Structure 1
Amino acid sequence: MRAPGAPPAPRERALAALPLTVLVGVTGVGKSTALAALTGADAGMRVLPDRREVTDAVMILPATGGVPVRDREDRFRLTAAYRQSHPGGMAQALGSLIADVNHWGDAPVFDGLRGLEEVQYAAATFPAWRFVALGAPDAVRVRRLLGRADAFDQVGAGGGGALREELAALTGVDAVFSPAELDDLAALAQAGFAPADVLAKVKIVVSERRNYDPAAAEAFLRTLPPARALVLDTVALDPAGVAAAVRAWAGGAA
């Protein structure tokens, strides 16, 4: 993929015009399961470079002079700055790119969009795109993050101290978790999870929710025709159920 500039070659097309399938959801909602189901249903389906790569190429590296940024909170600040001048955020960035369809195919998948503004922009601006949204409660997302080993999930986690007090001190945490939920999250330390890991994962979820409202995005997608948007609760459905629902929708919408 590349940014616009030179006229497209015969094999190149703007992603804005292709019938993309776009995964929608924040970290820890089960997008990997949905992605596997989509590609399993169509062996010829290609997966575009993911959100992290597009974010680096379009939003972060140009702003830092090519210096990589790993810390999630620093990345959130840079992407928020990008959205100030590009209200469509990632949707606007992705739609501006040009792809070689010989390599990426005519109907690739992208992982993914987050939040109401991105989804609204994509749905209104790119009528050929369709969406699969995955949702899960924030406390469930923390537990899922604790269960995976992703080197990208890095934030500064702070030092010692009582975990419950450190959780309560996180900026914006009360807008995401109730006191009872914080009690339950603090109790994860007694279940064998390192307090620093629990604190770091909660910080990821709080930072992400400060920038994106997944519930609002899901509510908007439910207003679209069923052939254009699928919204799934990944707590009500186990991974096999998510995969089956995505495969059925992809086959029916094709």
Structure 2
Amino acid sequence: MILQNKILATIFLIMLAAFAGTVSAASADDENSGSAYLTITSVSSDPSVFMYGDTGTVTVKIKNTGTTSVNYQRADLFSKDIKILNDDAYDTAGFIGGGNEIEFVFYVKATSNDGIYYPRFYLDMKGSGSVSHNVPVKIENTGLVISALNAPDYYQEGICKKINILVGNPRENAVSGVTVNVKGDVTTTQTSRFIGALAADASATAEFEVTPTSEGTMTFEVSYKNGMTTHTSELTLPIVYGTSKVSPNPIITNVK
């Protein structure tokens, strides 16, 4: 029994020494490669919420917290859900100076349905070691909504009417370059109205003075940018000639 205990104790010490050696070797590899001094300080995407088909960027910032330069072999972004457009942008070796921060920018295209996806960023160190991180990318395909606040039921040929178009942004992120255009069986002194940036959950109105040229339709088209990609939404209104049915104002007489 004593001999058996000695054998077990010896085996345990050998395993413990081997484990310690492995940890020391891994730590030494990280120390030698410099990855132990690298910290991912931020990850971001532009736009912050993609729409299907959008082109944008994913940016990863890394800081060298050490005092000497750290060499890396290459940087990559991998995903089966998001298309990487410049996957060979960082194929060449480089370095990060002591105390410095650099950013890696990848151009991507949203090619999946609504959801949150996690492309994987890798920074391979020269020699051994690496730094990796999952970058969240959200895709949500809701566009701007359009409504007419005061469109009449009937029009008269050649008679000008004012119509206010309300544009709302139900998205989680702001959009830019919002412009409203009108086309169809009407003439107008202003074919477009520029709204500009529209924050998340915000709305704006654009007023048009339209004169029908015939019965038919008029279409208000809203164009806007989500990041660097242009999108459009449309609202089509009918043009029907007739007389609006408006209740007469009551006339009160014999008031005492």
| Shorter-chain TM band | under 0.3
The structure whose Rg is larger is 2
Query: Does 1 or 2 have the higher relative contact order (CA < 8 Å, sep 6+)?
Result: 1
Q: Identify the structure with the greater helix proportion.
A: 1
